[in-house]
Structure 1
Amino acid sequence: MDGAHRLQSLATSIPGLTLFRLPVHADSRGWFKENWHRRKMMDIGLPDFGPVQNNISFNAERGTTRGIHAEPWDKFVSLAAGRIFGAWVDLREGPTFGVLFTAELTPGDAIFVPRGVGNAFQTLEDRTVYSYLVNDHWSPEAQEEYTFLNLADEQVAVPWPIPVEQATVSPQDRKHPRLADVRPMQKKRTLVVGADGQLGSALRKAFAGDATVDFAGHPQFDITSVESFESVDWPHYSTVINAAAFTAVDAAETTEGRTAAWLINAGAVAALARTAVEHSLTLVHLSSEYVFDGSAEVHSEDEALTPLGVYGQSKAAGDLAASTVPRHYLVRTSWVVGDGRNFVRTMAALAERGASPNVVDDQFGRLTFADDLAAGIKHLLDTQAPYGTYNISNSGLPVSWAQVARDVYRLSGVDPLKVTAVSTAAYAGPGSAPRPRNSVLDLAKIKGAGFSPPDASQRLVEYLLARETLAKG
């Protein structure tokens, strides 16, 4: 046994397959090693994969050969005794399908094998003990998702130290298909809940053509229903996007509305968070600038929560629940405009009728067009940006609601002076919810992640042109 060396990770030719060199402390009595150390290994590239089961394979004789098995979970492989020649083949759908990586492992080595990468080994010493952690429980149903490759496949051509014909191999492993007949393992799926609202419709467009994304509106998945949660086969998913929310700000101040707001915006989010933690999912949750009181002119991601009304309070509670998920994107947005009812559509309809609305001029923010919000969410997922909270709205100068209304009138060919600017105090009626004065979100973090939201004023022009074109048929 070699002496101790520094813990290190080494990339391989297969994406996600990572080799680790483990410090082994040896003396006359034997040796000791830290076989798995979550924090240290995460610091050098091991995903926080959440193992739930530990399996050990004892191999009595040199030449025992097992594989090639691609399983529907991640695994962390190491040795307690002996030596192996390991072979890993990417059997996931994608450009690296069929790529081979080989290495010799001793107790001073370990390897992280992502879901869908075929795993095989051949023992080079008698009494080899092969151990692995996995992040899902084995079951007969799970075994149906395995993908296999023949150990003697001519195309991959694993250079076994002991030819397969002379090795100890199970009859089942000898029957596995050649690469040309292998069914690639599909990547885990994404579930979008609340998929029938403005953002849900935009997400449908953003992920159009991606067969691994499932969309569920309220009839398909009620986020307040235990039965809905129990109906989903969560191990098939890696990500859930929560686009569902109770957004009736004034109605939330009523007895019935308060109950609904807390049930949907807080209680259901807590249930999603528990599910995400249990199944190691990435949770994308949509929040609002209403979690702030609006006293700051620009809201950063780390500003303390200071909600004014019931809607904002329920959203803040949902934020706290979502932030407990290790893999989360908490996306705060404001003034959303998309398909369906929204402020811009309402003002355009009023302009067509020649109406003269009163619109508040002492609340300031930026519009967020749902298509751009959806594109920002997709960017975070596609680039695997660091988890955490991100503000996403369109960019440009902050404006008041009255200014937005006047811009809609002007772009609709109607005199913008028909819009009368009034204060919030003058506009608010009995039962109106308090609203933040300033809704401007700091966009530095999302821009730093590589996504630059387009200017809101240009998007407003495009939105109204698209609406006009649609109306003309």
Structure 2
Amino acid sequence: MPGAEPGPAFGKPLASRTTAIPGVLLFDLPVHGDNRGWFKENWQREKMLALGLPDFSPVQNNISFNELAGTTRGIHAEPWDKFISVATGRVFGAWVDLRQGPSFGSVFTAVLDASTAIFIPRGVGNAFQTLEDGTAYSYLVNAHWSAGAPYTFLNLADPTAAIDWPIPLDRAEMSEKDRDHPFLPQVVPMLPRKTLVLGANGQLGLALRKIYVGDPTVEFATRTELDLAGPAPFADTDFSAYGTIINAAAYTSVDAAETSAGRAAAWAVNASAVAALAVHCTAHRITLVHISSDYVFDGSVALHTEDEPLSPLGVYGQSKAAGDAAASTVPAHYIVRTSWVVGGGGNFVATMASLAERGISPRVVNDQHGRLTFTQDIAAAILHLLKTGAPHGTYNVSSSGPVQSWADIAADVFELLGRPRSSVVGVGAADYLAGRDSGAGGQEPTAPRPVHSALALEKIEATGFLAPPAAQRLAEYLRERTRP
């Protein structure tokens, strides 16, 4: 067996290197020493983040002491990330990708001493063989150890991995469990952490169901299954199972939100529940996708950019703005801001189509302006942001094309359904509301609306996502609606 080797190399600069396994990073660590011994910064968040180390938020530090050279442990893939280093001695490390995907079975090996460390993502099998007596193997992990956690194992002697162990396995110190692990053809790959869609039966939820159809890693929760208006909506949710949560749930009754009961419900769903969700997503390193609204603005500018200060007018907009603020505290977040949403179920376009088909000539507001946003495009934009790993932050998403008034859109609907555009009578919002009171006599009060709701799209387009024109999507929607 190899004898003791000189200590770690002194004076190497901190550096990182990619490896044959995606996400596995090898680090050179600066070690400072003299006649008394040596010192190193084993893990340094700020410097290592700058070199590509994920901000993996370790919560537990484990040390494996190995008395004899030739001690061999692994190959174990755990459902958490690890930052591995050697405190004393040297090891031959071997890592095999056991995650589902094209890199399944990829192998990387390296010798680690005190001047080297490696980051191993969730699902990559970890093994090592000590090259010196009295070796201490240390690792930071970002989840608390649990005997019930789902592990994936591979036999140390797997012929496909074909790891060239410095000390043959028949002469190595090994446990019986490690000797009996399955070979690669029998290994069930570790699936990625799942995606959870909240509000799965809403307009956007239905579009997300279509875009994720058949994907076993995506789960859907309806209001019946997870009611965000409840006092503790996430009490029974195991957040460790999820890598992404898409919050498509919202209280959207804009006028009802101005009532006493509606105000409480709007704040419970749109603000308080989002704040609780943000805490859990931060603690479990979950990517949060949260849906925002043009109602977080007062509409005083013609085109809203992502960095415009929030200025909501009514209770609905105020509760949504509060939810946006909470969602933005999650380190990995996408706030997807939309306007004038059209999808399955009740919406403005469906209402206008019904009036056109019944021969009714409506009065429609002509001094509020924006663009329609079709839920299939919101769903596609969400998938695009997640798949491309776009920088986290807020993104406006709507259909492209010219800005229109509600009356313009209603006239488009009538024309596409074979009715004259003149059937739609455009009126100012003040005139439209003149016949309504402010809530007396059993009527709901009318919430204030932003005059301008159009969203600037340059930021999302810079990531490579281009939504089709609203006119195209409107024609497709109406054709689909009338299809037998």
TM-score range, shorter chain: over 0.9
Instruction: Output the CA distance in 2 between the equivalents of 1:168 and 1:295.
Output: 73
Q: Deviations over 1:346-404 (max 9, x none)?
A: 00000001111111111111100000100000111111111111111111111111000
8 Å CA contact retained: 1:2, 1:26? no
| 8 Å contact kept, 2:411–2:421 | yes
Local SS of the residue matching 1:69: strand
SS at match of 1:118: strand
SS of 1:349 mapped into structure 2: helix
The sequence identity of aligned pairs, in percent, is 62
Partner of 2:178: 173
Deviation, 1:7, is: 1.6
Indicate whether 1:75 and 2:54 are aligned: no
User: How many pairs align?
Assistant: 468
Q: Partner residue of 2:129?
A: 122
Comparing 271-280 and 318-327, the one that deviates more:
271-280
Equivalent AA in structure 2 for residue 454 of structure 1: P
Give yes or no for contact 2:371–2:404 (8 Å, CA) kept in 1: yes
Change (3 A) 1:4 1:226: farther
Match for residue 432 of structure 1 among 446, 466, 484: 446
In the alignment, the residues of structure 2 paired with residue 358 and residue 269 of structure 1 have an alpha-carbon distance, to the nearest angstrom, of: 37
Q: Specify the SS of the correspondent of 2:235.
A: helix
Report how far residue 149 of structure 1 moved: 0.5
- Out of 257, 272, 276, the residue aligned to residue 271 of structure 1 is 276
The match for 2:421 is 416
Deviations, residues 119-167 of structure 1 (Å, cap 9, x unaligned): 000111111111101111112211xx11111111111110101111111
Counterpart among 291, 307, 319 of residue 312 in structure 2: 307
Mapped contact 2:303–2:452 kept (Cα < 8 A): yes
Contact 2:228 2:268 in 1 (8 A): no
From 370, 377, 383, the equivalent of 2:375 is 370
1:81-160 aligned within 5 A: 81-142=88-149, 145-160=150-165
Indicate the SS of the match to 1:15.
Answer: coil
Give the residue type in structure 2 aligned to 1:162.
Answer: I
Structure 1 residues not aligned, in runs of 5+ = none
Distance 2:232 2:452 in 1: 40
Structure 1: distance between partners of 2:406 and 2:42: 59
Letter of the 1:415 counterpart? P
Equivalent residue number for residue 465 of structure 2? 451
Structure 1 range deviating more: 41-50 or 405-414: 41-50
Deviation at residue 6 of structure 1 after TM alignment: 2.0
| Structure 1 residue identity aligned to 2:468 | P
TM-score for both structures, normalised by structure 1: 0.97
Aligned Cα root-mean-square deviation (Å)? 1.0
Equivalent in the alignment of 1:56: 63
Quote the residue 2:245 is aligned against.
240
What is the alpha-carbon distance in structure 1 between the residues aligned to residue 429 and residue 32 of structure 2?
Answer: 70
Question: Which shows bigger deviation, 35-44 or 322-331?
Answer: 35-44
Match of residue 461 from structure 1: 475
CA distance in 2, matches of 1:172, 1:225: 46
Partners of 2:334 and 2:139 in 1: CA distance? 30
Give the SS at the match of 2:234: helix
CA distance in 2, matches of 1:336, 1:27: 67
Deviation at 1:227, TM superposition (A): 5.5
